[in-house]
Each structure stands twice: as structure tokens, then as C-alpha cells.
Amino acid sequence: MRGKPPMKKLFLGLSLSFLASTAFAADAVVEEVRVAESAYSWSGLYVGGQVGYVFEGRADYIYINPAYNYRHDLDGFIGGVYVGYNYQFTNGIVLGAEADIAWGDVGGSDVAPGDDIFSSTTEIDWTGSVRMRLGYAIDRFLPYVTGGVAFGRFGFEEFAAGAPYGSADDNLVGWTLGAGGEYALTDNWLLRGEYRYTEFDKKDFVSQPVDEDLSVDIHTHDFRIGAAYKF
């Protein structure tokens, strides 16, 4: 009849089993730490360029005589630059601040509803904004919302039977809201797509040399794509 295994062998077997399980657990912890360390961080300064298209924008001009009120449908391409800074919290929330400026060929025209001899055009020379951004990091993907102060400059021209009649250029201030998504191609290069709605405050101005007092309300929708370098 076989006897019981010696205590030394039993102890040795239990010890080897314990060491193996401990080594496996240690490897798992190290692997988790490596995964955590390899997760992308959105914190840092970045600078980029963007192009986009303005669509379904509108400029409503109000004159003392409604027969000469104009409504311009605005659209056109834009391009510009942006700079910002993000800070990523440990829970994945990303808070940032960003400023941008864009130039382009955005405009529209209309004929006076009560007197088709008169017509006018609008050109938006440039627009810019200073905004906050709030997003949630999903490793290298960052969906976000954004909003802040908008500003820009518009030009108004009026014609009588095709000949120049009056004009004005003035600055605009308002607000902008939007949402977008950003993806980190590498640790430094970022790609984005963004939608923005911008509404400028009502602006009173005088068209010269005819001294016409008008006011204008302008709003725009636009979609932009951009690429940035994160330092």
C-alpha cells in the first residue's frame, strides 16, 4: 500500500503553485499599467488650419421704407487658422479654450421688393471667435461641444439701375455654438470635423454717400474640417 507523500514534497508543490499564481497576477498588473500608460492624452497646446463652407446664412436689412428692405441668402467657402489648449481630467473629461479666424468668399444679393431698380449685395470679409470647448476622451477620439463670442466684418453695397448708389463696411459681434469630433492620427497630429451656428447682434449703420440709415441682422451655418499639430 502506498504511503502518504512526504511533507517536504507537498510543501514544495504548494510553494511552486503559489509562486506561479503570484507571477501571473504580477504580469497582469504590469500589463494593465502598460495599457493605462499608452492611453492618449489630449492635454496640451495645438495650432491648426481649417477650410469650410457657409450655408443657409442670411442677412436681413431693415430700412425706414419697407420697399427697400433686403434679404440676402449667404453662402461660400472659408479658410483660416485656429489655436487652442486642452486639459484632460483623470475621468476623461476634456476642457479647452480656442480662438480662430477665417477669411473667404461668403456673400449674397437681393433686389428691393418694392422697386426692382434697386439691388444690393453683402460680403462677409472675415469672421473669428473665442470659445470654450467641452469634450469626453475616448482614447484617440474626442467628441465635443463648443461655444463663445463671435466677431467679424461685413460689407454692404447698393446699386440703382446697376450703378453704385451707396455702401458701408462695419464690424459685427455676436455668439457662436457648435459641436464636432476630433481624432488623433498620431501623438501630435489631429484631424477634426465641426459644425457651427453663428448669430451676430443687430447692427445699425449708415450707407454713404446717400446717408441711408439701415440695420442688419446676420446669421450663418457652417461646416469645417481641420488639421492641427499638438505640442
Which ranges of the chain does DSSP label H, i.e. alpha helix?
7-38
CATH topology of domain 40-230: Porin (2.40.160)
Strand partners for 50: 80, 226
Determine the pLDDT at residue 37.
44
φ/ψ of residue 120, rounded to 5: -155, 165
Determine the pLDDT at residue 31.
43
Residues 6+ apart with CB under 8 A from 146: 98, 131, 132, 133, 134, 176, 177, 178, 179, 180, 194, 196
What is the pTM assigned to this prediction? 0.82
Tens of pLDDT along the chain (231 residues) come to 445 455 445 444 544 454 345 444 444 443 443 434 448 999 999 999 999 999 999 999 999 999 999 999 999 999 999 999 999 999 999 999 999 999 999 999 999 999 999 999 999 999 999 999 999 999 999 999 999 999 999 999 999 999 999 999 999 999 999 999 999 999 999 999 999 999 999 999 999 999 999 999 999 999 999 999 999
Determine the pLDDT at residue 210.
95
Q: Is 167 helix (H, G, I), strand (E, B) or coil?
A: strand
Among candidate residues 118, 191, 206, 115, the one with its CA nearest the CA of residue 156: 206
Determine the pLDDT at residue 34.
41
